[in-house]
Amino acid sequence: MAVEAFGDIQSFNTENGGDLHDKQYYIVKLDTDANTVLIAGAHEGIGILQNEPKYDATNGFYEAASVLTKSGVKAKVVAGEAITAIGAAYPLEADSSGRAVVFTRTVPGNTHTRLIGYPIEASSAAGQIITIVTCFGSDTYTS
């Protein structure tokens, strides 16, 4: 049965997605069961992990992941590279480790790329936490 949730932060399972306890502010994607998230790969992502879900050894499960999925809000994200250019002319996407990098335009006919947002703060190196304005969506270029 589908459960609807409204708001900026959505709750997802993490047990199939692996240990996300040290991945706060990373970009996540849906796993195959569609109610579980894991770290996004290149050009993927449905939101940004807001908490650090921990494993509860006593009960044998991971805490739920809190994922920001709303567009048009300021949010923190981990940069995957130096992002020196800021503003609407420099959209962001996920790299292969779920970190934000400058959006690469796809070749006509290729699969889509998931847009994450736009930087309003620069970074000087990978691993820095920056602030963006979220804009989740796909961008497909076809011939």
Q: How far apart are CA 103 and CA 43, in angstroms?
A: 8
For the whole model, what pTM was predicted? 0.87
Written as one letter, the residue type at 106 is T
Burial class of 122 by CB neighbour count within 10 A (0 to 12, 13 to 18, 19+) = middle
Domain boundaries, the chain: 9-68, 74-139
Ramachandran angles phi, psi of 102, nearest 5°: -65, 130
pLDDT for the residue numbered 134: 94
Hey, what are 59's tokens?
Answer: 């009960």
pLDDT, position 24 = 96
82 versus 105: the higher-pLDDT residue is: 82
Burial (CB < 10 A; 0-12, 13-18, 19+), residue 113, is buried
Higher confidence at residue 92 or residue 108?
Answer: 92
Higher-confidence position of 130 and 142: 130
Question: Could you report the per-residue pLDDT of 45-100, keeping only the tens digit for each?
Answer: 999 999 999 877 787 778 899 999 999 999 999 999 999 988 878 899 999 999 99
Q: Has residue 119 got a pLDDT over 90?
A: yes
Residues 6+ apart with CB under 8 A from 59: none
Please say whether the dihedral angle defined by the alpha carbons of residues 3, 7, 12 and 17, taken in this order, is positive or negative.
positive
DSSP track, 30-63:
E-TTSSBEEE--TT--SEEE-S---EETTTTEEP
Q: How confident is the model at residue 142 (pLDDT cuts 50, 70, 90)?
A: very low
